[in-house]
């Protein structure tokens, strides 16, 4: 979902401004005070005691950066959806809120878990570091838990040899750009209602797109099998394997804005909890 390591940049910014703030308090300010000459005028004394502008700037932004780091690392973090792999649940340009503590508290940058809370549940929409390139975040739906047997055949999903029931639906609000893309490629999608665990959601399938049928997977311990809701247009566990527990970032819970292009006004008509 993103290529810039914002977490690392934020940690470095907090560290640098924090060190400068601390040095100003215990070294720089006392040193300037000691250099005061008794014979100097009051105006000169005030000028020489004044905190340099660059240090004052670091002092002013340090508490803000620190609070942002705590909020972003341990509570909630915003992400923007870059692709259509989760259509119709999530569209490109959706800004989502990710719960960072539901799956356990983790250190920023390293992702090392320091407090265990809950485990991902079947049907959760999960953000994780892409196993083939941990600098990129992916978002998919959790389909298989550790120990599960997964099979995908004739565009039907089986978990532990039980068919995941889906029902055809025609009530789907699709983004206009998605419709235009399907028309351009001469594709007619079909939509279904599906349920995994406590999650009820819609999936998108292209009958005209073939798939290698009958592939089976057994989810190893400490791993998760994930798929996109746009089943025929999702690069997921069917192609690159499983998501290690240590790669988990958080649980996607809410769409709070839609802003596809910078030259357009943001929209809030899609604001909703993520099913």
40 pLDDT exceeds 60? no
**Which is nearest to 52 in space by CA: 22, 37, 26, 32?**
32
Under the banding of pLDDT at 50, 70 and 90, the label for residue 171 is low
Residue-wise pLDDT tens digits, 130-158: 999 988 999 999 999 999 999 998 889 99
Residue 16: how many CB atoms within 10 A of its CB?
13
Residue-wise pLDDT tens digits, 222-240: 999 999 999 999 999 999 9
Tell me what percent of the residues of the chain surpass a pLDDT of 90: 46
39 pLDDT exceeds 80? no
Tell me the DSSP string of 180-218: HHHHHTT---EEEEEEETTEEEEEEE-TTS---TTEEEE
Q: How far apart are CA 99 and CA 256, in angstroms?
A: 13
11 pLDDT exceeds 90? no
Q: How far apart are CA 192 and CA 32, in angstroms?
A: 71
pLDDT at 1: 47
**Which helix (H) or strand (E) element contains residue 225?**
strand 223-227
Q: How far apart are CA 145 and CA 223, in angstroms?
A: 7
Q: Are 203 and 143 in contact (CB under 8 A)?
A: no
pLDDT at 173: 65
User: pTM value?
Assistant: 0.80
42 pLDDT exceeds 90? no
pLDDT at 140: 98
Residue-wise pLDDT tens digits, 21-31: 998 888 888 88
Catalytic residue from among 73, 100, 129, 140: 140
Q: Is 85 a catalytic residue?
A: yes
Of 274 and 113, the one with more pLDDT: 274
Residue-wise pLDDT tens digits, 67-114: 888 877 777 888 889 889 999 999 999 999 999 889 988 777 777 777
Q: How far apart are CA 249 and CA 228, in angstroms?
A: 17
Q: How far apart are CA 252 and CA 89, in angstroms?
A: 11
Residue 133: how many CB atoms within 10 A of its CB?
10
Catalytic residue from among 85, 204, 237, 251: 85
Q: 94 - beta bridge partners?
A: 258
Give all strands (DSSP E) within 53-146, no chain letters: 76-80, 94-99, 105-106, 113-115, 125-129, 137-144
Q: How far apart are CA 170 and CA 174, in angstroms?
A: 11
Under the banding of pLDDT at 50, 70 and 90, the label for residue 50 is confident
**Which helix (H) or strand (E) element contains residue 244?**
strand 243-244
Measured at the alpha carbon of residue 191, what is the angle toward residues 88 and 129, in degrees to the nearest 5?
A: 40
172 token code pair: 């789907």
Q: What is the mean pLDDT of residues 34-55?
A: 64
Under the banding of pLDDT at 50, 70 and 90, the label for residue 2 is very low
Q: How far apart are CA 121 and CA 237, in angstroms?
A: 16
Of 3 and 28, the one with more pLDDT: 28
Q: Are 125 and 252 in contact (CB under 8 A)?
A: yes
Average pLDDT of the chain is 86
């Amino acid at each position: 979902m993103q290529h810039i390591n914002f977490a690392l940049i934020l940690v470095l910014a907090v560290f640098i401004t924090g060190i400068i703030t601390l040095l100003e308090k215990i070294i720089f300010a006392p040193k300037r005070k000691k250099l005061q000459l008794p014979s100097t005028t009051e105006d000169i004394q005030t000028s020489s005691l004044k905190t340099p502008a660059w240090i004052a700037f670091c002092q002013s932004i340090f508490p803000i950066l620190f609070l942002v780091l705590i909020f972003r690392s341990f509570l909630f973090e915003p992400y923007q959806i870059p692709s259509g792999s989760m259509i119709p649940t999530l569209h490109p340009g959706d800004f989502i809120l990710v719960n960072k503590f539901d799956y356990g508290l983790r250190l920023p940058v390293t992702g090392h878990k320091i407090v265990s809370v809950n485990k991902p549940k079947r049907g959760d929409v999960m953000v994780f570091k892409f196993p083939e390139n941990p600098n990129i975040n992916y978002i998919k739906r959790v389909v298989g838990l550790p120990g599960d047997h997964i099979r995908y055949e004739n565009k039907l999903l089986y978990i532990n040899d039980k068919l995941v029931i889906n029902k055809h639906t025609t009530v789907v609000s699709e983004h206009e750009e998605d419709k235009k893309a399907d028309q351009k490629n001469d594709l007619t999608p079909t939509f279904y209602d599906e349920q995994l665990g406590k999650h009820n959601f819609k999936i998108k399938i292209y009958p005209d797109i073939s798939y290698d049928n009958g592939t089976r997977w057994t989810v190893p311990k400490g791993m998760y099998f994930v798929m996109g809701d746009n089943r025929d247009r999702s690069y997921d566990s069917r192609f690159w394997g499983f998501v290690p527990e240590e790669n988990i970032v958080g649980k996607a819970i809410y769409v709070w804005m839609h802003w596809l292009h910078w030259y357009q006004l943001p929209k809030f008509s899609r604001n909703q909890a993520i099913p």
